[in-house]
Chain A
Amino acid sequence: MADSHEAQDPEAQVSEAQIAVHWREEEYYPPPPSFVAQANANDPAIFNRFAEDKFPGCFKEYADLLDWDAPWHTTLDISNPPFWKWFVGGRLNASYNCVDRHAAANPDKTAIIFVPELESDEHVAISYSQLHEQVNEFAALLRDSLGLQAGDRVTLHMPMVPELPVTMLACARLGVIHSQVFGGFSGAACGHRIADSGSRFLITMDGYYRGGQLTDHKIKADEAVAAARQEGQEVEKVLIWRRRPGQYASQAPMIQGRDMFVDELIARHQGQAVEPVSMPAEAPLFLMYTSGTTGRPKGCQHSTGGYLAYVTGTSRYYQDIHPDDVYWCMADIGWITGHSYIVYGPLALGTTTVVYEGVPNYPDGGRPWRIAEKLGVNIFHTSPTAIRMLRKVGPEEPKKYNYHFKHMTTVGEPIEPEVWRWYHSEVGKGEAAIVDTWWQTENGGFLGSTLPALQPMKPGSCGPGVLGVYPVIYDEDGNEVPKGSGKAGNICIRNPWPGIFQTIWGQPERFVDTYYRKYNRNPDSADWRDWPYFAGDGAVQAADGYFRILGRVDDVINVAGHRLGTKEIESAALTVPEVAEAAAVPVIDDIRGRVVEMYVALKPGFQPSTEMEGKVSKAIETEIGKIARPKNVWIVLDMPKTRSGKIMRRVIASISNFADVGDVTTLANPEIVEDIRHHVQTAKVAKDDVPRQLTEAEFEEIKKFGSE
């Protein structure tokens, strides 16, 4: 049953800026001397090497960690801002750098340890020479059986198994752009991404273990192919790895002529070698899709040279990876963390990386620590969500096991100081240096973190910008928010860095609009200083230069200085049992800046009434506070929606502000727009509640509202 949660005092709700002011400064934790002594970056001279006056040449230090087929002639090409190009003229192959050079130098060294979810199944160690063989054979299959070549896109929908990095590296060997979709996503979500990337091939698996159950995964491939077809993209072949070769774990039938088992096909390519294709540094390596879209998925395109150099450098200095370490990042390779810090970064450094199939609490909360003990893991990397869960289900478990981490990472979301302290004292046994990292799918690698041997840890803060990356906080008007002011703002990066994504696949205008337009000083400028990167997170910077990340800043309505998240308001409205859908939009108000108007659609069988409007208003006031009380609650028959079902908030925001709604012909239900407009604007005219003519800036704000 849905649990009961106590309502907080509505007046206790405060804006992000106030939260920042009220947060107490946490104490510093120095890294252990034993860690400092062995760290890759333990000489403070490194800060000078990456000082701002050394930009962009400082990143040669990262690129020099790789083997290049041809040297670059231009470190950073800024001729077409903000489409930055790194290491132009250079040529390399990512697969060669992650596999071949280590297989040649140290063939028996373990590259990947696969830990199946079932504890009764023994773990599997794959050496660099075995990885080399597997990658070559699969690359041969892709090239010779499917005809794939450099620049083609292939969608992967695979679980956490070693066949996933093998597949990625085989693609990279050929210059084929891989697009891995998180294995837990539905077939439909995979299909949308297939269609967007124009993939003609899907690589998947028949099944995998999660929570102790063998999950039928191939069935999703059929859904994905159907969803892609609906969007006009035909999938020609589906390659299916079998979780246990020779045994089929799915109930879904194989489709004759389309579906093929990898373990049968690959027999034809046994022992075959494929020369790595020498790729330009700026050639795309992979696509990684993110949500936060207006219906069309957002495929972040990452480069070969810049990306690989950046994740290798940050793995060396911030993860402190040495070749003899056993490194375990508990993320899923389906996300950017897994790409950068399970596969490409660790393997480029020739270390041993652990791939765990299942959930961390199966069969109990001691599982991660048993794995760490058994494998001798000494670097551990996970998210605050997993830390909170492990702390809840087994707070005493870590001390039962004899493992020792020298280094730990937290990634993906801000971590509360009390959770950080448990991670440090219980999981790390007080022996490990911790990095609390801030970055995003779009960024390739870390943007904010302490350098573990040289900068002390501070619970709840990610630290300063990483080497060669210069963050800044801007207010809404583009003024810099000084450090130590206690004021929150939008965290941006002043300079390009090699790991930054190149564009949104097939949507270059959206790339510029979303990430660079907001604080661009001159659209004609070819000076990178005029193109700060807008990360979309709120943050506050302490006097010591450490950043504390607050959260996403999009979809916020600023009412009299209080930044109200629209999703929070909508969630509050949805606590009214009769409400089926809710959307909060801003209306220009001369006194309070913006006020909230609420649109709700009721479940079948319920009728609009002033009582219902009152219930919605009261729910929002109770859940969030009086500041969020909507000026009007409009009960509508339906919301204007895209064909994928997303509510078009910009359309209803325009109606509330008496602004042009723009083109609505592509909506799933364009006829509803005129009904809503008539209903709302007639009522507002009758109440003498018509907002004044919008300024150009206000019109732009309304037009873009909810577009990301």
Chain B
Amino acid sequence: MARAGGPAMGMTRQYLAGELSVLLGHLQAATTTEASGRDAWSLRQAAESEPVTALGSVTIRALALTERLCWDSLNRGDIAAFNRQAAVCAELHDFGVFAGLLKDG
């Protein structure tokens, strides 16, 4: 399970909200149902409007959503959707680690 980064990574970090918003836009584009699209949209709104201290939490929730989407696509045998979603998941994870929003393990 992903974990949010520690308190030593702070300061303004507005640009992290921006980059996360871009990636959540990619996630939204990779959703296959209206409900999951809404979930991705609300995560993007959170990244754009909540304090930067919330970005770790948003990233974790986004990863959980991508995992759910990936399983759904696998269950349906939709390989193209799975590939798109897995790529977004990798982007989100790498960004979260580089930005100190997630603790790598």
* Co-complex (A, B): yes
Query: A: which residues have CB within 8 A of B?
Result: 1-8, 16, 19, 182, 184-186, 188-189, 192, 210, 290-293, 295, 297, 331-332, 334-337, 383-386, 388-389, 392, 412-414, 438-441, 537-538, 549-552, 554-555, 563, 565-568, 570-572, 574-575, 577, 623, 644-646, 708
Are A551 and B9 closer than 8 Å at their CB atoms? Answer: yes
Are A441 and B22 closer than 8 Å at their CB atoms? Answer: no
List residues of chain B with CB within 8 A of the CB of A412.
11-13, 15
Q: How many chain B residues touch A (Cβ–Cβ < 8 Å)?
A: 54
* 0/1 interface trace, chain B 63-80, chain A, CB 8 Å (1 if under): 110110010000000000
B67 to chain A, nearest CB (A): 4
List residues of chain B with CB within 8 A of the CB of A337.
15
Q: How far is the CA of A407 from the CA of B48 in the complex (A)?
A: 33
A548 to chain B, nearest CB (A): 9
List residues of chain A with CB within 8 A of the CB of B21.
182, 184-186, 189
Which 4 pairs, one residue from A and one from B, show the smallest C-beta to C-beta distance? A551-B10, A5-B105, A6-B105, A571-B4
Given contacts A414-B10, A550-B10, A552-B52, contact A2 B93 (CB under 8 A): yes
Query: B: which residues have CB within 8 A of A?
Result: 1-4, 6-19, 21-22, 25, 42, 44-46, 48-54, 56-57, 60-61, 63-64, 66-67, 70, 86, 89, 93-95, 97-100, 102-105
Given contacts A413-B11, A551-B7, contact A568 B56 (CB under 8 A): yes
Are B8 and A19 closer than 8 Å at their CB atoms? Answer: yes
Are B70 and A413 closer than 8 Å at their CB atoms? Answer: no
Q: Per a CB cutoff under 8 Å, which of B10, B53, B89 touches A2?
A: B89
List residues of chain B with CB within 8 A of the CB of A708.
51
B75 to chain A, nearest CB (A): 14
Knowing that A385-B99, A413-B9, A568-B6 touch, tell me 17 more A-B residue pairs with CB under 8 angstroms.
A2-B67, A3-B93, A4-B105, A182-B18, A186-B45, A334-B18, A385-B19, A412-B11, A412-B15, A413-B13, A413-B16, A441-B12, A552-B52, A555-B53, A567-B53, A575-B1, A646-B50
Q: How far is the CA of A447 from the CA of B29 in the complex (A)?
A: 40
Given contacts A184-B22, A550-B7, A575-B3, contact A335 B102 (CB under 8 A): no
List residues of chain A with CB within 8 A of the CB of B97.
388
B7 to chain A, nearest CB (A): 5
Are B7 and A2 closer than 8 Å at their CB atoms? Answer: no
A300 to chain B, nearest CB (A): 10
Q: How far is the CA of A185 from the CA of B10 in the complex (A)?
A: 21
List residues of chain A with CB within 8 A of the CB of B8.
16, 19, 414, 550-551
Given contacts A389-B98, A565-B7, contact A5 B51 (CB under 8 A): no
B47 to chain A, nearest CB (A): 8
Are A185 and B48 closer than 8 Å at their CB atoms? Answer: yes
Q: How far is the CA of A122 from the CA of B45 in the complex (A)?
A: 36
List residues of chain B with CB within 8 A of the CB of A188.
45, 48
Are A335 and B14 closer than 8 Å at their CB atoms? Answer: yes
Are B94 and A389 closer than 8 Å at their CB atoms? Answer: yes
Are B19 and A184 closer than 8 Å at their CB atoms? Answer: yes
List residues of chain A with CB within 8 A of the CB of B63.
2-3
Q: How far is the CA of A554 from the CA of B48 in the complex (A)?
A: 18
List residues of chain A with CB within 8 A of the CB of B86.
1
Are A1 and B89 closer than 8 Å at their CB atoms? Answer: yes
Are B53 and A565 closer than 8 Å at their CB atoms? Answer: yes
A385 to chain B, nearest CB (A): 5
Q: How far is the CA of A413 from the CA of B6 in the complex (A)?
A: 13
Are A538 and B93 closer than 8 Å at their CB atoms? Answer: no
B12 to chain A, nearest CB (A): 4
B8 to chain A, nearest CB (A): 6
> What are 25 A-B pairs with beta-carbon distances under 8 A?
A1-B66, A2-B2, A3-B105, A4-B105, A16-B8, A182-B21, A186-B45, A291-B48, A291-B50, A332-B18, A335-B14, A335-B15, A336-B14, A385-B15, A385-B16, A389-B98, A440-B12, A549-B11, A550-B8, A551-B11, A552-B51, A567-B54, A571-B56, A572-B4, A644-B49
List residues of chain A with CB within 8 A of the CB of B12.
290, 412-413, 439-441
Q: How far is the CA of A4 from the CA of B63 in the complex (A)?
A: 11
Q: How far is the CA of A290 from the CA of B25 in the complex (A)?
A: 19
List residues of chain A with CB within 8 A of the CB of B4.
567-568, 571-572
> Which of B2, B6, B45, B56 is most buried by chain A, counting CB atoms within 10 A of its CB?
B6
List residues of chain A with CB within 8 A of the CB of B22.
184, 210
Are A646 and B11 closer than 8 Å at their CB atoms? Answer: no
Are B7 and A574 closer than 8 Å at their CB atoms? Answer: no
Are A563 and B7 closer than 8 Å at their CB atoms? Answer: yes
List residues of chain A with CB within 8 A of the CB of B64.
2, 574, 577
Q: How far is the CA of A291 from the CA of B61 in the complex (A)?
A: 19
Q: How far is the CA of A565 from the CA of B3 in the complex (A)?
A: 13
> Which of A6, A291, A331 is most buried by chain B, counting CB atoms within 10 A of its CB?
A291
Q: How far is the CA of A58 from the CA of B48 in the complex (A)?
A: 39
Closest to B74 in A: A1
B68 to chain A, nearest CB (A): 9
Are A5 and B15 closer than 8 Å at their CB atoms? Answer: no
List residues of chain B with CB within 8 A of the CB of A575.
1, 3, 60
Are A189 and B51 closer than 8 Å at their CB atoms? Answer: no
Are A184 and B25 closer than 8 Å at their CB atoms? Answer: yes
List residues of chain A with CB within 8 A of the CB of B93.
2-3
Q: How far is the CA of A295 from the CA of B99 in the complex (A)?
A: 25
Are B51 and A554 closer than 8 Å at their CB atoms? Answer: yes
Are A186 and B25 closer than 8 Å at their CB atoms? Answer: yes
Are B10 and A189 closer than 8 Å at their CB atoms? Answer: no
